[in-house]
Structure 1
Amino acid sequence: MAVLAAAAGGALSAPASAEGGEPTPAGQVDFPTHCVPPQEAGLPPADGPTTAVLTVDNPAPRVGDTVTVTYRVAATPAVNPLTTDLPADVLTPTGVIVLGGAQQGEVTVVGARTNDPVPAGAVLPAVTMTGTFTVTAPGETTFAPGAYTLHTTHLLDLDTTCAPAPAAAGEKAVVPVAGRLTAGALPAANLRAVALGGASGRPGAAVKVTGSGFTPGAAVTVTGRAGAAPTADRVTATADRLGAVLADLPVTDRTTTAVVAYEGPAWTAERGSGPGAYTVLADPPPARERLAGTQRVTATVEPGALTMTQAGESVTLGAIAYGDGVAAPGRIGTVTVKDARGGPAGWSLIGKVTDFTGPGGVKVPGAELSWTPVCVSAAGSRSTCAAGSAGTVGEGGAVLASTPDASAAGGTFTVDAVVTLRLPPYTPPGAYTAVLTLTLS
């Protein structure tokens, strides 16, 4: 696990139009708003309707996709907080979009510092803010505009905060839904796995096999395997109500190098477990050899474990100038993977990253972090290490490196990656921190 730190137009489905009026543009809603000017301005609060337009770049994503959302405040009751004219390009907006339905939460949106001049006492102009989030749940997710802040930097740094207000005193503020998207689910993950009571045995000895992640009540075949081919060693069992399987597998086939379990007529990647390494030991020497004065010398190589070590516990990315949306480069702590299991199973190293949190709770989605992995196999390693694809990391996870299943696997591998974080233009200054977790399996 590592801590990361960095300094710093598709439309939603349209809501129903007002009765007897013109059709409402897609994604547009009006809601009562209470705007509080900065204390230094000495102005009373401003109440009135906000006209908001919400759009997304992908109204039909899949779970794991990154969606860009846009929040445009087309009209606001907030006014210029100064007694003088507000010059151009001194207004920076930030806000939130509220998610509901299948996926709930808030999406932080940020806008560029840009505006036309505003006379003293005049209503502040329209602003546009964007942000991103990762789809985590299938089904329909709704979008509604939330609170927003209009920050001005002329003469003084001043914040005018606007939040949804109730339609009448004593009522709860309700913001109308501006649109919806429907997310498709990813294929279900295969969680089937086996654990062996021992890593080796004489021909005919039984090994205890414990399986997990199977369909409750399903018939499960437990079999030996030589590389990718099944061997003659085979038993069947039934998964209990928790999907667990218990079986004793007699191993008589001397070519068996691993044990797998599966549902259905044959092993598949979708309905079968990964291999558990197993070694069939040689028979003891026959009695007549001992009588002749000969001895058979046997050396046993004990299987080890799959382990990893990482250099350092934090990653500091390069600083970004305020107003720029460029990537901040950095490098993860070098990871060393050692595979001493002695079986045919490969391994995968997966990375996942949380959202970045900055000053005032401003969030930058973890999907804005990308990497370019590198993996090198040490001399003498039996497996060939493959680096993961360059691209987004995100909370859904991405492969940093892996080795395939093979008849002879194992070795020592050095894994590294250059990481970059892309921040929206005019992200508020400060440090943004996330947690990158690496999982080896």
Structure 2
Amino acid sequence: MGAPAAADGGTPPGRVEFPTRCLPAAAGPTTARIEVDDPSPGVGDTVTVTYRLDRTPPGPGPQGAFPAPTGRVLLGGAQTGEVPVSAAPGADPGGAAVTGAEAASPGSAGAGGSGVVMKGSFVVTAPGELTLTPGGYALPGGVCAVAGPSAPVARRLTVAPLPVMNLRGVALGTSYGEPGARVRVTGAGFTPGAAVTVAGRAGAAGTADRAVATADRSGAFGVELVVADRGTTGVVAYEGTAWSPERGARPQAYAVVEPTAPAGGGLTMTQAGAAITLGPVGYGGAGGGAGRIGTVTVVDARGAGAARWTLRGKLTDFTGPDGARIPGASLSWIPSCGGGGCVPGPPGAVGPEGAVLASGEGGSSTVDAAVTLRVPAYTPPGAYRAALTLTLS
């Protein structure tokens, strides 16, 4: 038996009738209503529940002062448990102070209704349908329990599920290459065990360059893509038959170029892939997304007597959906390098003020860094991006 509809003779929503037995000596039907302040809450929301007694079994009235009425509302469906409810001590539903026989007791209001209003609240913990059923109650002059398995369900709430975040991302081993070059593509955040298609893009259209990989148990993959189409402007990866914002990673820029002879006698820098893909962080808890910068090669051909070179980096703030931001200083790195008298910079935050990645002199040096982004708790979900600028001087 569910709650009667409002259209049936004007019955208020959430009103049900059920048999009750009361102590010291009373039995009969109880008519009650369950009301909520939010019929469509989300997980984590607090819902206020109102338990109204419109009619109770006949019984003796209270003698002298008495405690405030109390009761409970049973939760079922997606979330189980009970919600304690109570009336304000010494107050009727209108707020006037009452004591002794003036207050409602089992049967004191008869068919006209007892007018007792009790309230409580609970926090929603699971998505799906949630039912609210009236339970037993205690009034001045008697304690009443539901006679039978349970009372009818008085309210049904629909709890929306948490939003599903697309954490898929890819990184390229290099952002450019000659026609036919093999590009190392790595990805993370995909469905474990899913087939992943890696493909070239020319603007908004796909190219014929494709490779297929399988995501491992952590949702990561690695594959080489042969980029032959000279019109390629980017590389994507996706699950399913075609790329979509829900099941694909954001395109990463790639350019097909003709080889050029390197200039000599100066100070030059090249990087194996400019994009950095950080690991996902679960919603609700603070955590760190880890990654690495693309390896930087510094060639110092200036000759003897040249000043030491310094490689610095600075980072903008991360921007996400609806203007959400994570400060750039939340990203820290641990530099490492080798060759050419290279000395790594100190570990620490990068941010807009910048930090030294490495310094050295003469010959060829390779510079790398492990990076970690500390994400504040309850940061709005979604993909966040920032620009890391490396400057060699």
TM-score of the superposed pair, with normalisation by structure 1: 0.45
TM-score of the superposed pair, with normalisation by structure 2: 0.50
Give the number of the structure with larger relative contact order, counting CA–CA contacts within 8 Å between residues 6 or more apart. Answer: 1
